[in-house]
Amino acid sequence: MLTSGHLFLFLGLLSFGVLGIFHKLADVKAAEPKALTAVLYVSSFLLALISSLVMKSGNPIGSQAVILTALPFGISAGIAILAFQAGIRHGDITTSWLVINLSSAIPTVMSIFLYNERVTRTKEIALLLIPIAIGLLWKERVASSRKVEAP
């Protein structure tokens, strides 16, 4: 049975995918990465503010704990986006976006150790496939570099 959680999961996946497409479009159009990131963060803030006002969740900005948590994570995300935008100019969107998605293994492994999250057979297989995927990306990158260097 589909729940609202499934809907949010699907919307998150869809939004994350569209974000990658827009990053590549911005690169093709030679948009300034810092300006793109500023638009992304301002629009995200406004969307969160509007949704909290519509839901009447009290303080529209959030408690002090929320703000103190959001600031370092927002700064970290901003650095990651700027690094991604700089890197995408030197490679394929498929490789860059795949590496970004593979980076989700870091919080997954941390949640296993910090929160004693149960590791199912499926999670074991997924975690074991990550180094294989990174190795294949490296091999593909080396092969494509050789093709460019060949006369």
Residue by residue, pLDDT tens for the chain (151 residues) are 778 788 888 888 888 778 778 877 887 888 877 787 788 888 888 887 787 777 766 665 667 777 788 788 888 887 877 777 777 777 666 677 677 767 777 787 888 888 888 888 988 898 888 888 878 877 877 777 777 666 5
Give the global pTM.
0.54
Tokens of 72: 């370092």
Residue 96 burial (C-beta neighbours within 10 Å; 0-12, 13-18, 19+): buried
Q: Of 88, 125, 89, 91, nearest to 105 (Cα)?
A: 125
Rg (CA), the chain: 19
- For residue 121, the model assigns a pLDDT of 92
- For residue 9, the model assigns a pLDDT of 81
3-state secondary structure of 31: coil
- With beta carbons less than 8 A apart as the criterion, state whether 82 and 41 touch: no
Question: Please, what sign has the CA dihedral across residues 107, 108, 109, 113?
Answer: positive
- For residue 23, the model assigns a pLDDT of 75
